[in-house]
Amino acid sequence: MASDPDCPFCRKLADPAGWAAEDVVWEFPHSVAVLGPWQFYTGYCVLVCREHATELHHLDGSTRVAYLKEMATLAEAIGGCFRPHKLNYELLGNQVPHLHWHLFPRSIDDPDRLRPVWFALEKADADPAEKTRLETARAHRTMIAALLRERLRADKAPGEPATP
């Protein structure tokens, strides 16, 4: 499986302590679901492909189908757990060109809900109070991750839960 020693995601994937254990939500066969930092968007996850590829069409056909299916499975679990007004699915890779989905649940009471999250996140990068606000979940992070794991287990998601 392709890997790139200079890629931060490849290094995390290769390192058993790459992500804090409590942040790893699910070990899918083709990807790892990690609870993201911005839990103002309750349930926000990043789904990192196990293979180093910069574009979906660089994956072989069956891996691509499986990775997209894992994305949809995780999205469904986030939707089922937290009932967001809308989910935002984004695969950008402008800064780290290793396939990873951002799954951002959007809330009806977010005054900025009509815009992509990036405006709020850029503001947070320059404003510590805003950063704290957007990093702070309505529930404990460990509870959010546990709810997602429980849901994925009930949905018989392929792979297995992380065991923090």
Nearer CB in complex with a copy of itself: 58/140: 58
Tell the burial category of 146 from Cβ atoms under 10 Å away from its Cβ (0-12, 13-18, 19+): middle
Cβ pair 73, 45 in contact under 8 A = no
């789904």: which residue's tokens? 47
Decide: is 114 part of the binding site for a copy of itself (CB under 8 A).
Answer: yes
Closest distance between a copy of itself and the C-beta of residue 42, in Å? 16
Query: How many CB atoms neighbour CB 7 within 10 A?
Result: 17
Site for a copy of itself in 50-109 (CB under 8 A): 54-57, 64-65, 68-69, 72, 75-76, 79, 86-95, 97, 106
Query: How many CB atoms neighbour CB 47 within 10 A?
Result: 26
Closest distance between a copy of itself and the C-beta of residue 24, in Å? 22
Residues that bind a copy of itself (CB under 8 A): 54-57, 64-65, 68-69, 72, 75-76, 79, 86-95, 97, 106, 113-116, 118-119, 122
